[in-house]
Structure 1
Amino acid sequence: MTANDQEVKITLQNEIKRDQEVERYELTVWGQYFKKAGSEFLKYEEAHEEGTVKTILKWKDGYALLLRSGAVSMRLEHRLDETTRGHYEHVYGTIPIAAHTSEINHQTKDNNQHTLKLEYALSMQESFIGTYKMTFSFQEEKA
């Protein structure tokens, strides 16, 4: 952690739609929130059966970058109303992925409660995987 990092409790709600099926899950973790060079960042770690996954989420107007490393490795840029390319790495190799992003929305309420929403259609090796709705909620401590 650096001097600008603020420890926050992050709640991630994820909804994945595939055909007629909807999968939902929620994750609550402690992480860090900070601002740097005009962008905002969230950093956190998740424990998986395969090992720890470190996630960094960076965003600013109409742009978000999702980086994951560790047991799962992924890089995926999001630009509002555009299709962007990235990659997903696992034990069998690297798979190209693409996302068409329909929503990047960050709101801050008076009590320093932040909500960041990402919605995108994900394709892997040119095949549609599903529509992802990710909602990150966290609260800054008042200065």
Structure 2
Amino acid sequence: MNSAETKVKIKLNSTILPVDGDRENYEMWLDGSLVEKSGKTYLRYTERLEEKEIRTTVKMGNEQALILRGGGVKMRLPFNIVQEEIGAYDTQFGSMPIVTKTRHLSYDYNEDKSMSGTFNVQYDLIISGQAVGKYTLEIQYSEVLE
């Protein structure tokens, strides 16, 4: 099992359109690593949110993808362009099932001279049978050339 790891700069754009509320936009620049393992591509990075450190792994694909978060926030967010998926969000009161309805999923990458790519997912988040909002996540990454 061979895996290659490349240091990357990550630009993360997140838009949340809650069912009741105003649109929220977030933009972050992060350092991370791109890992290729068994024919799959993973992006790993750590973000800080209100004194919490959140380790995130994004398994990127065009039909299925997965975001795993650990540390300050524990979450498993699966995406599937064909069907709704059930994930989990851990709260202080226990694990709560969440449903993702993927509207759009794309992963484009360029392996020519530098490793770079864009991962884009748009989904509805459903908690306890209720849609809570429409989410868009775009991640652009490019290799850090030493």
Q: TM-score scaled to structure 2, two decimals?
A: 0.87
Is the contact between residue 3 and residue 37 of structure 2 (CA under 8 Å) also seen in structure 1? no
1:94-113 residue pairs with structure 2 within 5 A?
A: 94-109=95-110, 112-113=115-116
> RMSD in angstroms over aligned alpha carbons?
2.0
Displacement, 1:55? 0.3
Letter in 2 for 1:58: K
Unaligned runs of 5+ in 1: none
Q: 1:90 is matched with which residue? A: 91
Deviations 1:108-132 (A, max 9, x none): 2466431110110001121111111
1:1-143 residue pairs with structure 2 within 5 A?
A: 4-19=4-19, 21-109=22-110, 112-140=115-143
Is the contact between residue 60 and residue 119 of structure 2 (CA under 8 Å) also seen in structure 1? no
Letter in 1 for 2:93: Y
Is the contact between residue 126 and residue 132 of structure 2 (CA under 8 Å) also seen in structure 1? yes
Identity of aligned residues (%): 28
Q: Identify if the C-alpha distance between structure 1 residues 91 and 105 changes in structure 2 by more than 3 Å, giving closer, same or farther.
A: same
Letter in 2 for 1:71: G
Equivalent position SS for 1:26: strand
Unaligned runs of 5+ in 2: none
Separation (CA, whole Å) in 1 of partners of 2:89 and 2:104: 21
Q: TM-score scaled to structure 1, two decimals?
A: 0.89
Letter in 2 for 1:125: S
Equivalent position SS for 1:82: coil
Is the contact between residue 3 and residue 35 of structure 2 (CA under 8 Å) also seen in structure 1? no
Displacement, 1:59? 2.0
Is the contact between residue 9 and residue 144 of structure 2 (CA under 8 Å) also seen in structure 1? no
